[in-house]
Amino acid sequence: MPIRLTNSLTRAKEEFVPLDPANVRMYVCGPTVYDFAHIGNARPAIVFDVLFRLLRHEYGDAHVTYVRNITDVDDKINARAAEIAANSGMSVEQARAELTATTERQYIEDVTALGCLPPTVSPRATQHIGEMIALIEQLIADGHAYAADGHVLFDVASDPGYGKLSRRSTDDMIAGARVEVAPYKKGAMDFVLWKPSDDATPGWDSPWGRGRPGWHIECSAMAGKYLGDTFDIHGGGIDLQFPHHENEIAQSECAHHKPYVKMWLHNGFLQVEGEKMSKSQGNFFTIRELLADWPGEVLRFNMLRTHYRQPIDFTFAGLRESWKMLERWYAVTEPLANPAPDAVFLDALRDDLNTPAAIAALHQADDLALAGGLGFLGFSNVQMKIAAKTEVDTVAIADAITARNAARKAKNFAESDRIRDELLAKGIVLKDTPQGTTWEVKR
């Protein structure tokens, strides 16, 4: 059975036919590195890792190139770097370099814990400024971009194909892009390819003065460098479809006069307990903090129980259920060193990465095929020791609370804190109330 994927460009499920089966090429927009990645950022990492693994299975490990970039220059990064620089002896550029290197390392640790293979290439934007400048120069030479006031802008009116991915009206596009009104712009939709940097902002020399790239141009430049003018698959979260991916298409197709990407894939958004994740709502979770309480396998498996195109409602009840499901499987299966995936399981994945159907196939499979499936999902081949952290032993908790209260009475706060932390590590949160100490299972 061939692989079929839903192409956002055509809005249809299409058979995947690589341009060159000896080199299947995929680009996925990676993280902007200035802080720990959140559980929503984990979704494209996991979804496209499953696709990467499926492509490697079908075409051979050596015949798939997966590029996932690192955005290490950006105004949010620069703002954070300026804060760090103000509180240390570092220059803003030094602070930027250090912040992004540290955050990139953390990101790699996090997604590795989620069972994701390293991409073939993980290019950093700041190491491709030359390629971006060359691409911008090409666009200017062809009449698709113009320099104005230290900026270079893409001239949207020069591109008759603009809007083909998002299929929005101009009004919707203007609203969606949160268009900045600026005197140097010819058209409201024109977007920045290059912008000037003052002395206190990271910047690079260019034909238009010292400055830095706009966000969209980095992906066009790096995808072009590692995958060629036209490649097979481009992925990312649905929020990137417009304007980011629309603008990537415009830049690359106007510069190269060739189709940029055959198939666009977008993962749906993740919400937490039915709400948009936000720091002010208190429902914002980094991968790192979740990994303290939940095995990476459980987080990954939980994510894949929903089809990648659907929105996910991330809940702790769902996580606990996922943990239980994995525990039950591990109780009946013997993981193999080099498992061969089960045919039903594989066909489900070939059908637009239908991971819920693949998981259902695992439920039906015998032990051997089951292990194969688990390996394919990125789980370790060594039997996981998934401790029943969420199984509550109420008697043990009551004993611990009694011991803690005794310690507090004796003003032995080191001991009372130790007991509280020990329970917390097991997912039990203590609450001291006027009526006494109560406990609950951490969500």
Cα dihedral 375→376→379→381 (10° resolution): 20
In the set 173, 240, 255, 377, which binds ligand AMP (CB under 6 A)?
A: 240
Q: How buried is 127 (Cβ within 10 angstroms: 0-12 exposed, 13-18 middle, 19+ buried)?
A: exposed
CA gap 172, 166 in Å, rounded:
10
Is 31 a binder of ligand AMP (CB under 6 A)? yes
Q: Which does 197 bind (CB under 5 to 8 A by kind): ligand AMP, Zn ion, none?
A: none
Would you give the binding string for ligand AMP spanning residues 248-287, x where CB under 6 A is met?
A: -------------------x-xx------x----------
CA gap 438, 425 in Å, rounded:
17
Q: How buried is 245 (Cβ within 10 angstroms: 0-12 exposed, 13-18 middle, 19+ buried)?
A: buried
| Of 29 and 407, CB closest to Zn ion | 29
CA gap 64, 56 in Å, rounded:
6
Could you tell me the smallest distance in angstroms from the CB atom of residue 216 to ligand AMP?
A: 12
Chain-centroid distance of CA 41 in Å reads 4
Backbone angles phi, psi at 108, to 5 degrees: -65, -40
CA distances from 313 to 133, 148, 284 (A): 41, 45, 13
User: Of the ranges 21-29, 193-201, 255-263, 366-374, which one interacts with Zn ion (CB under 5 A)?
Assistant: 21-29
Is 119 a binder of ligand AMP (CB under 6 A)? no
Is 8 a binder of ligand AMP (CB under 6 A)? no
CA gap 421, 442 in Å, rounded:
13
Would you give the binding string for ligand AMP spanning residues 35-64, x where CB under 6 A is met?
A: -----xx-xx--------------------
In the set 28, 29, 156, 192, which binds Zn ion (CB under 5 A)?
A: 29
In the set 119, 203, 237, 341, which binds ligand AMP (CB under 6 A)?
A: 237
CA gap 397, 429 in Å, rounded:
10
Could you tell me the smallest distance in angstroms from the CB atom of residue 438 to ligand AMP?
A: 33
Q: Which does 219 bind (CB under 5 to 8 A by kind): Zn ion, ligand AMP, none?
A: Zn ion
Question: Which residues of this chain interact with Zn ion, rule CB under 5 A?
Answer: 29, 219
Interacting residues with ligand AMP (CB under 6 A): 29, 31-32, 40-41, 43-44, 236-237, 239-240, 267, 269-270, 277
